């Protein structure tokens, strides 16, 4: 039996999607790619932070501690994928590890044969890649394992095998770095071919101080704006789109509103790092004339009309939400800046608002 310090394997944690799928990644796998990326970054940080501590230990102790850490503490805080039943990890198990004495291979053994993954390890990797949510995740897993194989070939198997825990931890940092690079590129590729529809629904109720004309005004706004990418890299992307916002107003009391519903041009901008989205609405154009007819029984009636007013590019505050299909941001108008302004005049503002992102492939 080989000693424990000689059987330590480099572990790659996998978080593939629940269905076997070798298709190219698109909007439906965007959330999966994001979870994979966040987990890889957490694991990279975990091994980077552990390397210094391992460097203070003796060779054998550092390997034992690294193995313990990889199987326990390094996993903390990782995000699971619902309903995933595939393998949770794959080991880079080189063929040389199976030798009786890996530090003294025979003269006929080459680094290429010694560093090659064992059939069982290769089969586990292949299964994990097939179980990945899309082919891009599989490529990221392969990139991770390629770093270990390249290190083995560069150092030579014996030197590679004799690496201490600190060196192995630093190699894991490099391997997760390669995995992260591919995942970022896959997210960028998804966004390159994606469009996002931003849907906004807001219902505001303005409660006025008691008066004979009206008690409340209800305003309903609805917008659906398609956006497409206007700039981007592997780190930052911008999507923009033009559409319309439909507005309707009704009065509770002795008045009715005329000239509704009406529409105004709406522009949506999405700035994203591929993980979260900052969404901003901008209303432009001119608010049309709105009339109000009031009748008070036994008193009389009256009519008034507003003048058309340029909106002067009214921008809403940016809203941050996850960048994924179906992501929603819900808010209460009573907590908005508009509500604070209305309160100065004795008007109470309330009502729900929701912004939703829908992603689809161009």
Question: 262 pairs with which residues across the strands?
Answer: 247
pLDDT at 285 (0 to 100) = 85
Nearest Cα to 269, choosing from 229, 221, 322?
Answer: 229
Which regions in the chain score pLDDT beneath 50?
1-9, 11, 13-21, 85-87
d(CA 147, CA 44): 14
pTM: 0.83
pLDDT at res. 91: 80
For residue 276, the surrounding DSSP H or E stretch is: strand 276-283
Place of tokens 């009786």: 100
Strand partners, 238: 231, 271
Question: Given the DSSP bridges, would you call strands 255-258 and 262-272 parallel, antiparallel or unpaired?
Answer: unpaired
Cis, bond preceding 52 (omega within 30 deg of 0): no
Tokens read off for 187:
């997210």
Tokens of 151: 């290190």
pLDDT of residue 9: 46
Q: Give pLDDT, residue 88.
A: 52
pLDDT value of position 330: 95
Burial class (CB in 10 A: 0-12, 13-18, 19+), 212: exposed
Nearest residue to 331 (alpha-carbon basis) of 339, 252, 275: 339
């Amino acid at each position: 039996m080989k000693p424990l310090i000689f059987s330590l394997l480099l572990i790659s944690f996998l978080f593939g999607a629940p269905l076997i799928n070798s298709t190219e990644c698109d909007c439906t796998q965007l959330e999966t790619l994001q979870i994979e990326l966040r987990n890889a970054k957490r694991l990279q940080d975990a091994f980077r932070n552990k390397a210094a501590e391992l460097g203070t230990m003796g060779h054998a102790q550092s390997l034992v501690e690294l193995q313990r850490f990889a199987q326990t503490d390094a996993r903390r805080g990782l995000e699971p994928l619902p309903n995933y039943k595939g393998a949770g990890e794959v080991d880079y198990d080189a063929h040389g590890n199976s030798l009786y004495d890996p530090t003294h291979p025979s003269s006929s053994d080459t680094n290429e044969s010694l560093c090659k993954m064992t059939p069982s390890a290769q089969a586990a990797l292949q299964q994990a890649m097939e179980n990945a949510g899309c082919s891009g995740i599989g490529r990221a897993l392969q990139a991770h394992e390629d770093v270990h194989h390249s290190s083995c070939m560069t150092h030579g198997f014996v030197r590679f095998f004799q690496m201490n825990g600190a060196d192995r931890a630093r190699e894991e940092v490099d391997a997760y770095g390669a995995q992260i690079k591919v995942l970022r590129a896959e997210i960028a590729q998804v966004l390159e071919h994606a469009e996002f529809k931003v849907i906004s629904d807001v219902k505001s109720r303005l409660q006025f101080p008691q008066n004979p004309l009206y008690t409340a005004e209800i305003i309903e706004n609805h917008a659906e704006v398609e956006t497409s990418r206007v700039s981007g890299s592997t780190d930052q992307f911008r999507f923009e789109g033009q559409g319309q916002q439909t507005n309707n107003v009704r009065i509770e009391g002795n008045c009715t509103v005329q000239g509704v519903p009406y529409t105004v041009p709406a522009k949506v901008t999405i700035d994203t790092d591929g993980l979260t989205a900052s969404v901003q609405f901008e209303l432009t154009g001119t608010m049309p004339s709105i009339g109000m007819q009031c009748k008070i029984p036994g008193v009389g009636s009256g009519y008034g009309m507003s003048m058309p007013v340029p909106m002067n590019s009214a921008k809403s505050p940016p809203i941050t939400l996850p960048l994924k299909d179906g992501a929603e941001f819900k808010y209460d108008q009573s907590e908005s800046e508009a509500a604070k302004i209305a309160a100065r005049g004795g008007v109470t503002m309330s009502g729900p608002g929701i912004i939703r992102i829908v992603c689809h492939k161009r």
